A and B are shown apart, each in its own frame.
Chain A
């Protein structure tokens, strides 16, 4: 079955350090992949997407993600974490006209 997986329930990073939130995919053909962020008690905000082209995708709030076909990964990264980046992050992929979300990774940025 086509899916995305987020192996980490929670990631803790000190403020100012680089952060990585992991996502692996199992999608046939050319995968379309998304990252969304959910701040507490709020809906989802779109961060970035990979459709084709450059493997390094830049998105909102200084985030970027690297598409790695050999490792079937699409990890979300940021060079220097902010406390305000603390939130729930979802990797996702489209299936027909739906979006299928990973289970989410809670990111805690420690001051």
Chain B
């Protein structure tokens, strides 16, 4: 089956620094990638949708300057949390979908802790 990886799996950073999270589709070309955020004991909230080669579409209430998304190739999307603060601590999950496909394949998630 299709595999999506995320790196790093866990990151701890100081407040004010920026953190980049990578999402890769390992065995298929992902024309669309999605970024979700999951708070403790909460559901997944879609943050943004990115299509390869174009700007990401952000959900209402998500700061695009805070959460920079780049989908530079058909196998890689990155989420950069800029000037991270403790309230940005969360579990970030990406998913990827192939061209013409309907199934989203989820990555294992990245746990971010901002001190």
Contact = CB atoms under 8 A, between A and B. Distances in A.
Same assembly: yes
B44 A41 contact: no
Interface size class of B (residues with CB under 8 A): 20 to 34
B93 interface: yes
Contacts of A11: none
A94 B97 CA distance: 13
Given A41-B111, A42-B109, A43-B93, A99 B43 contact: no
Contacts, number: 44
Interface string A96-107: 011111111010
Interface in A43-59: 43-46
Interface string B37-51: 000011110100100
Given A43-B107, A44-B106, A101 B49 contact: no
Which size bracket describes the interface of A in this complex? 10 to 19
Nearest to A36: B106
B42 A43 contact: no
Nearest to B105: A46
A90 interface: yes
Given A45-B106, A46-B106, 15 more contacts: A9-B41, A41-B91, A41-B111, A43-B6, A43-B108, A43-B109, A90-B43, A90-B44, A94-B102, A97-B32, A98-B34, A100-B46, A102-B43, A103-B43, A106-B41
